[in-house]
Structure 1
């Protein structure tokens, strides 16, 4: 396994390509994207990666398989913080990660349903998909199976769809937090569950913690 400090720019991640194993630090990836296609064996594979202080600008990573990947320290611009239709198998995010939004739906309507189905099947075959226990920042997990995600139960809680059916949550005082937005997305999209996470980098992080405690006390979020 080699150690390197690369700068990668202006590249397409082709279908059938494999990246890894690799240990890298201080990497800047700019103006890179993944080729689109169906969720088959030709999806790009990123495996055995250990990346420290990764910076992404103008990056669109979608439809890839990430296996045994560890990222400690992540910075994304507004283009790069969205990750669509990626399959996660033992992927760890640690340290400051800025804003990261993870969604199993592909941005192309042609592949949208197929990717969700493929990712759901893959989730059932692994012990865990994501570990965000030590991630610091705004981590939004939209539609991935909550029971396959390793998390800090104090700052990252699971809310299940069945606990929202009585509508009580709509009357809550959310105290300026954005958690209601996450629950609205969950209800509209039909996800069975979602993970709400405290962003410890925000000034209102103590208020966020208080709101999550109330959700647990009300039986809306899981107790642990």
Structure 2
């Protein structure tokens, strides 16, 4: 049995979260923060969200599994920050506004050595997690008006629309002069730089923005990457 929540407003700060088996429709999440407890990721599993909105929310080190998100609206200026999270069979569709998928978050209260120890353990967990997953994200039916970057998710684990979303491998970047291409102020070159410097994966997906102001430019840059043999649209 799946519980359904309609038209509610949530505001919470918690750690060690385990949420599963419910549907959320037309709900607002305001100032919500999910932090990890030592030794365990948060878990959000078998959840269906439709027409959700968020204001100033952050999730640290969580597993999102068997989840669908059909439409996400940003309230305020801040995106939804996802720090060091992993995804398994998560489908995004509709208009998805302002999501930032970030790397592992260091703690200013810890030494460099302790942060490095936690980072190494986190990266090992992430690699093992995705090695056992059939797919991570499905973004083929999603629109990203303000853009999104996926350097923290293995590109070959993302289902995509090849007309709007391309795959770039680290090996293709390594043998190309990609920085010499005309990126037309789209920031796609910044996304590639993030992938090259900060990702632990061998491939990344680049998605064109759906906003009318940028869509044509983004698609043109993705086509240039394809023509240069850097991006794979198939």
TM over 0.5: yes
CA distance in 2, matches of 1:50, 1:88: 14
DSSP-derived class of the 1:144 partner: coil
Aligned with 1:116 (options 123, 128, 138): 123
Q: Is the 8 A contact 1:13 1:44 kept in 2?
A: no
CA distance in 1, matches of 2:58, 2:233: 36
In structure 2, what is the equivalent of residue 67 of structure 1? 65
Q: Is the 8 A contact 1:55 1:75 kept in 2?
A: yes
In structure 1, what is the equivalent of residue 21 of structure 2? 21
In structure 2, what is the equivalent of residue 101 of structure 1? 100
1:30 deviates by 1.1
Give the unaligned 5+ runs of structure 1. Answer: none
Higher mean displacement: 82-91 or 111-120: 111-120
DSSP-derived class of the 1:20 partner: strand
Deviations 1:5-42 (A, max 9, x none): 22111x22321x3112111111111112112334x4x3
Higher mean displacement: 59-68 or 162-171: 162-171
CA distance in 2, matches of 1:213, 1:145: 21
Higher mean displacement: 109-118 or 69-78: 109-118
In structure 2, what is the equivalent of residue 46 of structure 1? 44
C-alpha RMSD of matched pairs (Å): 1.8
1:89 deviates by 1.1
1:104 deviates by 4.2
CA distance in 1, matches of 2:35, 2:213: 39
1:99 deviates by 2.1
CA distance in 2, matches of 1:107, 1:78: 23
DSSP-derived class of the 2:148 partner: strand
Q: Is the 8 A contact 2:90 2:136 kept in 1?
A: yes
Q: Is the 8 A contact 2:25 2:49 kept in 1?
A: yes
Give the unaligned 5+ runs of structure 2. Answer: 108-114
Deviations 1:81-104 (A, max 9, x none): 221111211111111111222134
Q: Size of the alignment, in residue pairs?
A: 220
In structure 1, what is the equivalent of residue 183 of structure 2? 174
In structure 2, what is the equivalent of residue 4 of structure 1? 5
Deviations 1:50-83 (A, max 9, x none): 1111111121111111111101011234434221
Q: Is the 8 A contact 1:106 1:115 kept in 2?
A: no
Q: 1:43 to 1:188 in 2, by over 3 A?
A: closer
CA distance in 2, matches of 1:85, 1:217: 33
1:107 deviates by 4.0
